[in-house]
């Protein structure tokens, strides 16, 4: 890895089009054109930005949300499809890495999906939010760890998580073990209130410090008219104001440009990749500062499936089977951990390992 790189990144804070089908995609394409004119090489958009985040689910009970839920199904994104084709064309035209959140429709289910397009227009990564949060569980299905990957793009190694996935330390650690250089985080924005902005700031700066990578964070924005269209109740409207925090943070936890908490715009900064080594030479949490013989992570990285051939099913280990500790890398596939030799410290009461954990945590 060459450290001598400067990458210009943009965290986009932008309002969706809640009314016009295809309107949000038009705004994405326009924003990419604007970013390209400013020399941006990597652009990050908000969580499930296309066609829009389901704000209605936060302020209305499920019994009153049927029509809005059906409308979201109608305008959700097929992957691949017209939306991915349009964004891929812009990524290729501008030689830009693009990270976009979409409501993905897969037959009868919707998913909170993150898409990473490389500079040649290739869809480098499609991943689904592992566990929808609170009200979101009425909207989206669960993701799997098959997409919990860091991908090598033309400019850097890129990883992504959505919103409260950042409060799942195992999910973050899974990306850290893959040596992500730029972490792209997405939040809905215009949610919860000003406290959400403060929480986002703490969250992304902590991940930057812990992982030794850059964080580019994008949040959405709702106009007053859009808030009123989601709810006519002034009390509920308060729950849709604030909570925005587009920002770019260095591996040392510093803001590289002033964060944006109100209105539409872009936070743009140049990422000096030498700062990654500067941070990691002191603290590399998956390298010289790790203790994998004491603490490690097992990941079930198989794609979720509702059926498989009988012969294949018979050969698969039982899901959730107890795992013996694996003292190799800081993380590894669940199958590898399951077949690892048991630790003497974990089984021999004379070894001084009375407080050793006998099972590893399982992500996914």
What integer is the mean pLDDT of 47-66? 96
Q: Which residue is catalytic, options 27, 104, 126, 129? A: 129
Please determine, for residue 104, whether its predicted confidence score (pLDDT) is greater than 80: yes
Confidence (pTM) = 0.87
The lowest-confidence range among 19-28, 110-119, 337-346 is 337-346
HSE of 282 in the Cβ direction (CA atoms, 13 Å)?
9
The pLDDT tens digits of the residues spanning 269-302 come to 999 999 999 999 999 999 999 999 999 999 999 9
357, pLDDT greater than 90: no
Which one is predicted more confidently, 330 or 222?
Answer: 222
Whether 316 has a pLDDT exceeding 80, the answer reads: no
pLDDT band per the 50, 70, 90 thresholds, residue 348: very low
Query: Above 50 in pLDDT, residue 345?
Result: no
Q: Which of 27, 136, 163, 184 is catalytic?
A: 163
Catalytic-residue membership of 47: yes
Q: Stretch 210-234: mean pLDDT, rounded?
A: 98
Q: Residue 128 above 70 pLDDT?
A: yes
Read off the pLDDT of each residue in 214-225 and give the average, rounded to a whole number. 98
- Answer with the residue of higher pLDDT: 99 or 331: 99
Residue that wins the pLDDT comparison between 311 and 222 = 222
Quick check: is 235 catalytic? no
pLDDT category of residue 310 using cuts at 50, 70 and 90:
confident
Quick check: 273 and 6 in contact, CB under 8 A?
yes
Active site residue 129: yes
Report the 10 Å Cβ neighbour count for 227.
18
Which of 93, 77, 79 shows the shortest CA–CA distance to 37?
Answer: 93
Assess whether pLDDT exceeds 70 at residue 133.
yes
Give the chain's mean pLDDT: 89
Residue 280 CA to residue 98 CA, distance in Å, equals 26
CA distances from 64 to 137, 139, 237, 241 (A): 15, 13, 17, 22
Give the mean model confidence (pLDDT) for residues 215-239: 97
Higher-confidence position of 164 and 360: 164
Domains and CATH numbers, the chain: 6-281 (3.60.110.10)
User: Which pLDDT value is given to residue 311?
Assistant: 74
How sure is the predictor about 13, in pLDDT bands with cuts at 50, 70 and 90?
very high
Per-residue model confidence (pLDDT) at position 306: 83
pLDDT attached to residue 339? 52
Q: What confidence score (pLDDT) does residue 1 get?
A: 47
Write down the pLDDT at residue 322: 42
In the prediction, which pLDDT does 305 show?
A: 85
How much is the average pLDDT of 141-165? 98
What percent of the chain has a predicted confidence (pLDDT) above 90? 81
The residue-averaged pLDDT of 12-32 equals 97
């Amino acid at each position: 890895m060459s450290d001598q790189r400067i990458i210009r990144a943009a965290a986009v804070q932008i309002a969706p089009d809640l009314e016009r089908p295809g309107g949000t995609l038009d705004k994405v394409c326009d924003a990419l054109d604007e970013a390209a004119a400013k020399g941006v090489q990597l652009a990050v958009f908000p969580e499930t930005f296309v066609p829009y985040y389901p704000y209605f689910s936060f302020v209305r009970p499920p019994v009153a949300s049927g029509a809005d839920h059906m409308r979201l199904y109608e305008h959700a994104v097929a992957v691949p499809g017209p939306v991915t084709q349009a964004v891929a064309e812009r990524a290729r035209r501008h030689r830009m890495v693009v990270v976009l959140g979409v409501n993905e429709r897969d037959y009868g289910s919707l998913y909170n999906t993150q898409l990473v397009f490389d500079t040649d227009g290739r869809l480098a990564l499609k991943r689904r939010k592992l566990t929808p949060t609170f009200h979101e569980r009425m909207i989206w299905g669960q993701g799997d760890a098959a997409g919990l990957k860091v991908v090598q793009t033309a400019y850097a190694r890129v990883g992504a998580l959505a919103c409260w996935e950042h409060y799942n330390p195992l999910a973050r650690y899974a990306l850290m073990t893959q040596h992500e250089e730029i972490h792209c985080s997405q939040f809905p924005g215009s949610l919860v209130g000003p406290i959400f902005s403060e929480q986002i700031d703490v969250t992304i700066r902590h991940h930057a410090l812990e992982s030794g990578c850059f964080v580019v964070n994008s949040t959405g924005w709702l106009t007053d008219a859009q808030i009123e269209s989601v709810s006519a109740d002034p009390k509920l409207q308060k729950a849709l104001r604030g909570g925005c925090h587009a920002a770019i943070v260095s591996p040392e936890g510093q803001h590289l440009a002033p964060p944006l908490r109100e209105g539409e715009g872009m936070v743009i900064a140049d990422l000096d990749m030498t700062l990654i080594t500067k941070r990691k030479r002191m603290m590399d949490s998956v390298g010289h500062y790790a203790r994998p013989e004491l603490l490690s992570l097992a990941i079930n990285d198989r794609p979720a499936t509702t059926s498989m051939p009988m012969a294949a099913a018979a050969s698969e280990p039982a899901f959730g089977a107890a795992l013996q500790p694996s003292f190799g890398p800081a993380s590894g596939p669940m199958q590898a951990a399951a077949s690892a030799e048991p630790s003497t410290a974990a089984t021999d009461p004379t070894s001084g390992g009375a407080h050793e954990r006998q099972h590893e945590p399982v992500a996914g």
